[in-house]
Amino acid sequence: MTMDYIKPPIYLKESSVFPHYNKAYQESVTTPMSFWDSIARTFLWEKTWSSVFDDERPEQGWFLGGKLNITINALDRHVVGARRNKVALFWSTENGREVTVTYDRLQKRVCQVANALKNLGVNKGDTVLIYMPNTVETIYAMLACARIGAIHVMLHTGLGSKYIRDYVQNVRPRCIFLADIMFSNGKSINLKQVLDKALCEVNYDCPKIVLRRQDPKSELRSKMEFDFHDFMNVEPKWINPEIMHSNDPLFMIFTSKPNAPMDGFVHTHGGYMVGAGYYTKIINDLKESDICWCTSDLSVIEGHTNSVYGTLLNGATVYFREGSLAFPNPDAVWRAVDKHGINILATSPEFLYELKALDTDAASRFDYSTLRLVSVLSDYINHDLYQWIKENLAGNNGAIIDTWFNAELGAPLIGTVLSLDKKPERTGKPYPGVQVQILNQHNQELSHNQQGYLSLSYPIPSMNQTICGIKKSHQQIPKGAIDIIAVKDQDGYITVKDRFKNSLFFGGHWISLDDIEDYLMHIPVLKEVKVWLCNYTEVHNKNICITAKVKRQLVDQNDLKLRLKECLRQEFGNCFSLVITDIRTSS
């Protein structure tokens, strides 16, 4: 069956920062060294590289011999130029609180946190864990670590004790940034309680910098705990950036598949900077006056690249928000676009389906004409959702694109840009520099429309340099392939299929229902447990149901249900809606 291509509005295509996809792609795969050399030279380096990439020794990484610090390109070069007083960050909350941070102020705050970390004894190569929601302080902490050469590792605040224990045991952080509470759906969730419990269970202690948000302020219970703003405010507003080798680590990002240990992918200052900066610019069609909003949490790779590094490297303005995107009213997205004049919205199909299901008439009550690009992250969209986005977000003057991210590769790899026609229900084509094959288990390339493993036939700069922690054995995956299933059609368009039917996806991790069942079976009162997904669709799978048998007659079943919900929240986090359908006494 042939599919009609969807063409972007002609005025967007002609004014795009990346007008010639086919020409650029051909150059990138024909002469990859000169292609990436020219991209890298658009950034500031303390010392230029002696070699772009060594095919014979790929483990040595990209831009060999180059020296830099990514924050020089994300902050300093803007502050010494025309962007000094340009807004870098717009931040808002569910209750309407807003904070605006210019590039000048952002640099000073980052330097203050960096100085405080140095005074605490954190140095180049040390690991810092960040367990904070989407706040400006979270970005200060990320960039401060980069400034001094420390390696930051972020943990999604929706995940519970199980994941904190895993992260701590893998990375052994020198210190931890955390918030005492986060706000979501009108409620406050105690993060410090969850963290303290997890640290106690693994018998681990280290300094903790606490963003105290409760009123009155939560108590600091030891000499190893510091108030975030007290920690920062007394420090000087400048620190020289630690000059790093191109392949020195910048951050680690952890992911997992169902019933498997975590993989910790290490990304570097040089390669990640070049890849993230380039791909963010061409995919989002970044212009000088743009305001960009990526709805992903800062902790996942989409948040790292689209909301922090990729966008700041290009000197753009980032809008981001804490809490539910549909609270206190379903019109929160349109209200934000209208108020701030947001130009680029990058979001997940899951959230778009949620907005669609709310059946709001917000599109008729707000002005969203500034929104020229809606980027759908990490999945393709079907015809019905495309039409809804077109009618209620993109309008007649905007374009809709698909973009697929991967934590291993640090940046988007496949999708559509404004100079490329969109093919319905296809993720898109490889971006420049990305050479893709579909392989079977025997390392043989498959023909068109055959399902297999997605494979890169040539590296890209932003891909992870090493893997830290416990690496899963990919015995069924051919050499050079990624643990992702995909199909490529006769026109070169790729459809990525990386969902697990019996799992929840949240915060970069696939959470197996078997894992939840195993945990519940350790609760003494329970004899049998069955967990399954309910109200499941391809793009919305965060609801689970539980049926349980108990060993003895209960006086109050509602009390047990509340206890089970709290146990699951503490262990796995706030990553799903839970319905306990039936509790029976075992015969």
Instruction: List domains and CATH numbers for the chain.
Output: 10-495 (3.40.50.12780), 503-585 (3.30.300.30)
For tokens 């590769």, the residue is 409
Mean of pLDDT values over 506-527: 68
How far is 461 from 52, CA to CA, in rounded Å? 9
How many helical (H) and strand (E) elements, i.e. helices and strands, does the chain have? 18, 32
Residue 473 has pLDDT above 50, yes or no: no
Strand partners, 208: 176, 225
**pTM of this structure:** 0.87
pLDDT at 538: 44
How far is 424 from 421, CA to CA, in rounded Å? 10
Query: Of the candidates 138, 140, 134, 130, which has an alpha carbon nearest to the alpha carbon of residue 71?
Result: 140
Cα dihedral across residues 409, 415, 418, 419: positive or negative: positive
Tokens for 328? Answer: 């206190």
Residue 138 has pLDDT above 90, yes or no: yes
How far is 398 from 381, CA to CA, in rounded Å? 16
Lowest mean pLDDT among 160-164, 170-174, 227-231: 160-164
**Backbone torsion region of residue 340, taken as left when φ is above 0, otherwise alpha when ψ lies between -120 and 50, otherwise beta:** alpha
58 cis-preceded (ω within 30 degrees of 0) = no
Which residues lie below 8 Å from residue 133, measured CB to CB, with a gap of 6+? 157, 179, 182, 183, 184, 191, 297, 322, 323
Confidence class for position 536, pLDDT limits 50, 70, 90: very low
pLDDT tens-place string over residues 295-345: 999 999 999 999 999 999 999 999 999 988 888 888 899 999 999 999 999
Contact predicate 557/570, CB 8 Å = no
